[in-house]
């Protein structure tokens, strides 16, 4: 009986730890899209009706924002911003732990060789 209760407890807790963050992410994205639709509604009124739906424009705008943020993060300036935010703005308990000596991100920026150096 104890094994069954331990199994049920571990399974329920594991499922909750997976479902709750996913559900919160979906709710956050829905909230962001709702606010973006209000923001782009004046712009969509000038577009043809076939592409003027605020929901579609809001999704495209969200994807564009994610793309630009991803581009910035992969630059040297983005790494400096990340270090600043983690070192000075976030408390120690909220910043992610740094594992030194492993992977591309742990190398100093000056020692990294980008793929673009090898293309002609």
Q: Give the model confidence (pLDDT) of 52-97 as tens digits.
A: 688 888 899 999 998 988 888 888 888 888 788 777 766 665 555 5
pLDDT at residue 27 in the model: 95
pLDDT tens digits, residue range 21-32?
Answer: 889 999 999 999
> What is the rounded CA–CA span in Å between residue 89 and residue 95?
9
pTM: 0.55
Supply the pLDDT for residue 62. 92
Q: What is the pLDDT of residues 44-56, one digit of tens each?
A: 888 777 776 888 8
Question: At 101, is the pLDDT very low, low, confident or very high (cuts 50, 70, 90)?
Answer: very low
Among candidate residues 96, 78, 76, the one with its CA nearest the CA of residue 86? 96
């Amino acid at each position: 009986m104890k094994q069954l209760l331990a199994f049920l407890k571990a399974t329920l807790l594991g499922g909750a730890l997976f479902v709750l963050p996913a559900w919160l992410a979906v709710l956050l994205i829905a909230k962001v899209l709702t606010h973006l639709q209000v923001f782009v509604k004046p712009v969509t009124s000038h577009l043809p009706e076939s592409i003027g739906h605020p929901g579609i424009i809001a999704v495209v705008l969200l994807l564009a924002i994610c793309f630009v943020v991803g581009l910035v993060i992969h630059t040297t300036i983005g790494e400096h911003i990340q270090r600043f935010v983690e070192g000075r703005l976030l408390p120690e308990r909220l910043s992610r732990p740094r594992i030194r000596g492993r992977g591309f991100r742990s190398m100093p920026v000056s020692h990294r060789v980008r793929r673009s150096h090898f293309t002609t």
